[in-house]
Amino acid sequence: MTVISVKYTPGTMSVKPVLKMGHPILQQVAQPVTEFNTAELDIIIADMYDTMAALDGAGLAAPQIGISQQIVIFCVEDNPRYPDIEPVPDTVLINPEISALSDERVSDWEGCLSVPGLRGLVSRYNKIKYRGFDQNGHIIERIADNFHARVVQHEVDHLAGILYPQRMDDMSKLGFEQELFPRDE
């Protein structure tokens, strides 16, 4: 089943191992991208899409596949890991900057491919502006709220070496998904 449309040529699919919490690359501040529209950048992004799609992720940051550069991708379209969530546009965001547009914060459950099996309740700004570049160097500037704003804040945190448990106020709200959200047989 295809959950996210990924453009790839059969046989070239490249799903990378995802680093897990504790790996030092996930704790580093990632380097800005200095050259756009390059084959090297396109390969990194293609590998990120293949990896995100294979694991049903809502987003992925380059450090999660071991590349300490300021590149994130996100996309939510009929994702089985997030069944009740509004769609988030399919986006490549490079060298991002975020600013909060109000002080309002909302708590909701997050997961992360680098923290497999767990979910945690995380407070985030509900409305943000974000700015960055796509892979061709074109400026992206958007206002986002709700889950879209949450995904962007989560992914951009990866570029600062921050994983969502570090954003949690109440560690009693960190747990295994199957215990927190038991499913009927």
Binding residues vs Ni ion (CB under 5 A):
112
CA dihedral 117→119→125→129, nearest 10 degrees, is 20
> From the CB of 120, what's the least distance to Ni ion, in Å?
11
In the complex with Ni ion, the residue whose CB is nearer, 45 or 112, is 112
Distance of CA 88 to the CA centre of its chain: 11
With CB atoms as reference, the residue minimizing the distance to Ni ion is: 112
In the complex with Ni ion, the residue whose CB is nearer, 26 or 33, is 26
> From the CB of 113, what's the least distance to Ni ion, in Å?
6
Catalytic residue among 155, 177, 179, 185: 155
In the complex with Ni ion, the residue whose CB is nearer, 4 or 112, is 112
Torsion region of 176: left, alpha or beta (phi above 0 gives left; psi -120 to 50 gives alpha): beta
Let me know if 155 is a catalytic residue: yes
DSSP 8-state symbol, 29 = P
> From the CB of 185, what's the least distance to Ni ion, in Å?
29
Give the burial class of 99: count Cβ atoms within 10 A of its Cβ; 0-12 exposed, 13-18 middle, 19 or more buried. exposed
Measured in Å, how far apart are the chain's first and last C-alpha atoms? 21
> From the CB of 158, what's the least distance to Ni ion, in Å?
6
- What's the rounded Cα separation, in Å, for the pair 26 and 68? 8
DSSP 8-state symbol, 117 = T
In the complex with Ni ion, the residue whose CB is nearer, 76 or 112, is 112
Catalytic residues: 155
